[in-house]
Amino acid sequence: MRSFEVPGFYRSPLISAIKQKRKAADKLKKDFQPTLLDLGSLQILLARHFGFCYGVENAIEIAFRTLDENPDKRIFLLSEMIHNPQVNADLTSRGIRFLQDTKGNQLIPFESLNAEDIVLIPAFGTTLEIESILKKIGIRLEWYNTTCPFVEKVWNRSESIAQKAYTIVIHGKPTHEETRATFSHAAAQGPAVVVKDMQQAARLARYICQEAGQEEFETEFSGQYSSGFRIDQHFRRIGVVNQTTMLAAETQAIADFLKEQVRSIYPEPDAVADTRDTLCYATSDNQSAVMGMLDTEADMAIVVGGYNSSNTSHLFELCAEKLPTFYVDGPDRIENATTIHHYDFHAGQDTTTHDFLPKKDIIRVLVTSGASCPDATVERILEKLAGFYERSLPYSDWQ
């Protein structure tokens, strides 16, 4: 896999050295045990896989290169490049402006753009409708499109099964940029519907099994189905794909459940398309690494990343099921050895916890981060924790 020119301030010498050693010792990526940083009274266990993925590094490289090569042009991002506050702040500080927020609300009218402007398409991709608007203005999207190739792989999978007369069921967050883009591409090929979780999949089953009618479906799934969708026609054959950053176990559970529902009503052997998991490699590796990390005895976990990052939120969910877990977006959130400001994912708001470090002779802390989080951010958090115990990170051990 190719390497990218990512600004050095996003890198971490310590974490890079650790990752290189782990990769050399485990080329097939079968060992998901964490890396131990033994600081005596503080033991930090780093997940086997975390941090920037292929799609994120590709997007960052294109964005910073575009800035360097076009100092005299207006440069816009369709929306956040990736879901990381530091990276987006770095880009806006260099003059890039967002056209939309993460929900698709307009911040700068498209009508104010001209053919000489540059518009970067974020790693999540965008809808065919927005592509059409920008192309009519004369903007050359192909030069500045940072859509992740793994997202495009889902689009291609959707197109291929839609052409065989299957309805596309997308497991994803309906308002997420990637899901909106995938839905747009899928709906251009055939019927499509989005389900956000297993609870909503169970509700969808009522319409598959004809236990509820068209009008109720249109109300309950408003904004989540393609134009002209008919429940009496379009659930006879389905194929399930997903937003690339969802929980793998949940996607599989939803796919298995919906397949069972369809086959109970339409027993034809080809009623369900043979679709493979469409999670990206980084999402899969990071989730597997967290599961391996959670097999290790620990007192607490820290998950680092943007609060609107889908893949990071799922890492938090996995950790929070087993341990006290703190979701932070940077080292400043750890105020001191007793106070941490963190994101309450379930309440959707910031919160503060006092005495967050257990009072024990030896404390074991699990640490991971999302695919859009710089390793340098994680290192600064490790340094902060180490400083509470008057220790420094053992970089020399990994050189």
Based on the domain organization, do 46 and 112 belong to the same domain? no
On whether residue 166 sits in a domain, the answer given is yes
Residue 43: predicted pLDDT: 95
Whole-structure pTM value: 0.90
In a domain, 119, yes or no: yes
Whether 178 is catalytic is: yes
Beta-bridge partner residues of 341: 352
Boundary-marking domain end, from 89, 117, 143: 143
CA distance 374 to 238: 38
Residues 200 and 286 in one domain: no
Quick one: 174 and 201 in the same domain?
yes
Asked if 236 and 338 sit in the same domain, the reply is no
From the list 57, 177, 178, 317, the catalytic residue is: 178
Nearest to 82 by CA among 363, 318, 370, 291: 370
**Residue given tokens 């503060």 in the structure block:** 352
Joined together, the tokens standing for residue 232 give 């009496």
Question: Which residue, 85, 119, 143, sits at the end of a domain?
Answer: 143
- Compute the distance between CA of residue 69 and CA of residue 49 in angstroms, rounded to an integer: 33
* 271, part of any domain: no
92 and 180 belong to one structural domain: no
Same domain, 187 and 294: no
- Specify whether 49 is located in the same domain as 59: no
Domain co-membership, 224 together with 128: no
pLDDT at 394: 84
- Taking alpha carbons only, the member of 278, 214, 220 closest to residue 246 is 278
Residue 104 located in a structural domain: yes
Please tell me the distance from the alpha carbon of residue 136 to that of residue 41, in angstroms, as a whole number: 62
In a domain, 373, yes or no: yes
Write the CATH number for 135: 3.40.50.11270
Sign, Cα dihedral of 306, 311, 314, 320: negative
Number of alpha carbons in the 13 Å side-chain half-sphere of residue 277: 14
Q: Give me the pLDDT at residue 69, please.
A: 94
Q: Using CA atoms, how far apart are residues 152 and 142, in angstroms rounded to an integer?
A: 14
Cα 203 → chain centroid? 25
From first to last of the 399 residues of the chain, give the pLDDT tens digit: 677 888 999 999 999 999 999 999 998 888 999 999 999 999 999 999 999 989 899 999 999 999 999 999 999 999 988 889 999 999 999 999 999 998 889 999 999 999 999 999 999 999 999 999 999 999 998 889 999 999 999 999 998 889 999 999 999 999 999 999 999 999 999 999 999 999 999 999 999 998 999 999 999 999 999 999 999 999 999 999 989 888 888 888 999 999 899 988 888 888 888 776 676 888 889 999 999 999 999 999 999 999 999 899 999 999 999 999 999 999 999 999 999 999 999 999 999 999 999 999 999 999 999 999 999 999 999 999 999 998 888 877 776
Q: Could you give the angle at which helices 375-387 and 13-25 cross, rounded to 10 degrees?
A: 110
**Spatial separation of the C-alpha atoms in residues 377 and 305, rounded to whole Å:** 9
Residue 47: which domain range?
Answer: 8-53+281-398
The answer to the question of residue 274 being in a domain is: no
pLDDT at residue 277, rounded to an integer: 66
Buried b (16+ CB within 10 A) or exposed e, 253-283: ebbebbbebbeeeeeeeebbbebeebbbebb
Of 241, 265, 289, the domain-final residue = 265
Q: Are strands 35-38 and 42-46 parallel, antiparallel or unpaired?
A: antiparallel
Task: Give domain status of residue 1, yes or no.
Answer: no
The domain that holds 344 is classified in CATH as 3.40.1010.20
Q: How far apart are CA 120 and CA 134, in angstroms?
A: 11
Q: Quick one: tokens of 126?
A: 């965008």
Q: Do 124 and 206 sit in the same domain of this protein?
A: no
According to the model, what pLDDT value does residue 1 have? Answer: 62
Q: 131 with 164, same domain?
A: no
Asked if 144 and 96 count as a contact pair (C-beta separation under 8 A), the reply is: no
Phi, psi (deg, nearest 5) at residue 378: -65, -40
Q: Do 257 and 193 fall within a single domain?
A: yes
By the 8 A CB rule, do 46 and 35 touch?
Answer: yes
What total number of domains does the chain contain?
Answer: 3
- pLDDT number for residue 42: 95
